[in-house]
Amino acid sequence: MVSKIFKLLNRQSQGINEAALLLGLFTFVSQILGLVRDRFLATYLGAGHHLDVYYAAFKIPDFLYVSVATLAAITVLLPYLSEKYGAGDKEGHDNAKRFLDQVFTALLMFLVGLSVILFILMPWLAKLVAPGFDAAALHTLTGLSRIMLIQPIIIGISNMLGSVTQMFKKFFVSALSPVFYNLGIILGIIFLYPVFGLTGLAYGVILGAVLHLAIQIPVLIQSGFVPSLTKNISFSEIKSIVLTSIPRTIGLSMSAFTALILTSIASLLGTGSISIFNLTNNMLNVPIGIVGISYSVASFPTLVRFWNGNNRTEFAKHILDATRKIIFWSVPITVLFIVLRAQIVRVILGSHAFSWNDTRLAAATLALFVIGLVAQSLVHLFVRGYYAAGNTKKPLLMNFAGEVFTIILAVVFLLIIGNCPQIAEFLRVTLRLGGIENIKILALPLAFSLGNIFNYFALWSVFKKDFPEANAYPIIRTTVQTIAASLCMGVVTYGALNFLVLIFNQDTFWGIFFQGFLAGIFGILMFVTILIMLKNEDIFEFGRSLRRKFWKADVVRDVIEVDK
């Protein structure tokens, strides 16, 4: 049995289609497990004090991961490692192994050193992360965060070693790693939380990180690339890796810092605010990953080729073509999420400890989050576009301005909701929150969405100046047609919900699920019908892709992220 498992994990993908299928399939599985994880958290803990502490405890370790561990990401290391490995002879293997040992030693020492410093400072950092917590909650937060500091060390090393598995085309292992990470957290919720309480959840996070790393060990053993500590470190090579990684890492760090600030604000807004903010944001990340990140990743190699070939016209055209497709998919998803928000939240989160008021507030928060879905998806595309052109300064400046704008808006909206009863009542009526007194949490997703919209339009304005030859007419046409069809879809979906409520029992999981699912299907049919009547180019192109069996197309996935 053990030998069969080793053989499976060391299985090499024979072609890019097979690799793409594996990566796509297990990425989807990982996202589903992420939603299952959130449902278990909502079921066992509810949107209350304990879950607030758990999510807040994640923030410092997360910031450590994105600001340091991602300096040795697969996308950066793989070209270096492949160059060292060369043709794969003994000399190439030894050179690559020495290089890997150097990176492993430098990254491990840096992560451990920073973790020790953060471990010591954690009681003070906890007060900054969650200033609204009382002394007992801060004590618990400090303990959980200290345990979770192990996670970025393990995940950082695991992602670094992923460059080995991908160099040898062992994509099965790469695809399984994030799945096992979420599985470890779920096991912690089910088995460790009842025994150890919140500490058990932290142990589950560490278990997930260990599984993320452990799944790669058979490949490392078989290929002779098990890393070891070394004293011989070429700091010039380490410096080169760091300089290459800095733009991407700074971008991730800014987003993580904003999440830290918003969590800090949420801690002041009452029990359950941090939980609802994080749970609904996790839901938003699913369509962003499927639409925004997928199109930006798929466009990147082509954009690099056009730019290197000094073909600015085709470069701009490809950006606009991808923009059109993202709008085509994101707008109807936005409408569906808004109309079906209650069903989505009830299916994923609404059970046991997650109360009815929690469900209503989470549905309203999700609706405000999803307003920024189109913009957030497009930001991923334009940032990668500028990276493809070798320009990292402009997207970094735009992202920085967007993050600052988000934080300012969060404070402004909090003041407005807290001091303008008319606006607060308007939000209650519009989002069906009658009877819920404290709705200040709504300021955060609204600020987050508007911050992303600001970020996109800033990037778009810069792009138009840099590429005046870009023709935006196809985008305008697609946007108008898609919005019109999406609004019709929303009306049909809403009408179907009101009809199906007479058929399905709203007190059961399956009743809620089928009510939302069938209403969404009716709405989508209307969406497609309207676009066909309008002779929309994108819907016909999608039909041609289905006939060509698009799932067999050559797709390269350049990074596997851990879904936290």
Per residue in 270-320, pLDDT (tens digit) is 999 999 999 999 998 888 877 877 777 667 767 877 887 888 888 888 888
Kindly tell me if the per-residue pLDDT of 434 is higher than 50.
Answer: yes
CA distances to 51, 260, 283, 353, 546 from 362, in Å: 14, 20, 11, 14, 36
Mean pLDDT confidence for 224-230: 90
Mean pLDDT confidence for 353-367: 90
Residue 490: its pLDDT value, please?
A: 96
Kindly tell me if the per-residue pLDDT of 335 is higher than 80.
Answer: yes
* Half-sphere exposure for 23 (CA within 13 Å, toward CB): 23
Which stretch of DSSP H or E encloses residue 32? helix 16-45
pLDDT digit string, tens, across residues 534-553: 888 878 877 776 665 544 44
Kindly tell me if the per-residue pLDDT of 268 is higher than 60.
Answer: yes
User: Regarding predicted confidence, which is higher, 515 or 352?
Assistant: 515
DSSP letters, 417-463, are: HHH-HHHHHHHHHHTT-TT----GGGHHHHHHHHHHHHHHHHHHHHH
| Residue 349, φ and ψ in degrees, nearest 5 | -120, -25
pLDDT digit string, tens, across residues 493-504: 999 999 999 998
Residue 21: its pLDDT value, please?
A: 45
Name which of 346-355, 506-515, 525-534 the model is least confident about: 346-355
Provide the residue type at 179 as one letter: V
Residue 523: its pLDDT value, please?
A: 96
- DSSP-derived 3-state class of residue 243: helix
Name which of 28-32, 155-159, 234-238, 495-499 the model is least confident about: 28-32
Could you give the CA distance from residue 538 to residue 325 in angstroms, rounded to a whole number?
7
| Residue 301, φ and ψ in degrees, nearest 5 | -60, -40
Place 170 in a pLDDT band, splitting at 50, 70 and 90: low
Could you give the CA distance from residue 549 to residue 547 in angstroms, rounded to a whole number?
5
82, part of any domain: yes
Residue 555: its pLDDT value, please?
A: 44
Q: Which positions ≥6 away from 404 have C-beta within 8 Å?
A: none
Residue-number span of the structural domain to which 114 is assigned = 7-245
User: Regarding predicted confidence, which is higher, 178 or 71?
Assistant: 178
Kindly tell me if the per-residue pLDDT of 129 is higher than 80.
Answer: yes
166, part of any domain: yes
250, part of any domain: no
Mean pLDDT confidence for 190-196: 93
514, part of any domain: no
pTM: 0.86
The 8-class DSSP code of residue 190 comes to I
Residue 184: its pLDDT value, please?
A: 93
- Considering its fold, how many domains does the chain have in total? 1
Residue with tokens 């150890």: 196
pLDDT digit string, tens, across residues 84-124: 888 777 888 888 899 889 989 999 999 999 999 999 999 99
Name which of 190-204, 249-263, 398-412 the model is least confident about: 249-263
Could you give the CA distance from residue 47 to residue 282 in angstroms, rounded to a whole number?
14
Provide the residue type at 221 as one letter: I
The 8-class DSSP code of residue 192 comes to I
237, part of any domain: yes
Percent above pLDDT 90 for the chain: 48
Q: What is the mean pLDDT of the chain?
A: 85
229, part of any domain: yes
364, part of any domain: no
Name which of 379-393, 442-456, 474-488 the model is least confident about: 379-393
240, part of any domain: yes
Could you give the CA distance from residue 201 to residue 148 in angstroms, rounded to a whole number?
10
Q: Are 72 and 241 in contact (CB under 8 A)?
A: yes
User: Regarding predicted confidence, which is higher, 6 or 140?
Assistant: 140
| C-alpha 325, offset from chain centre | 20
pLDDT digit string, tens, across residues 475-520: 888 889 999 999 999 999 999 999 999 998 888 889 999 999 999 9
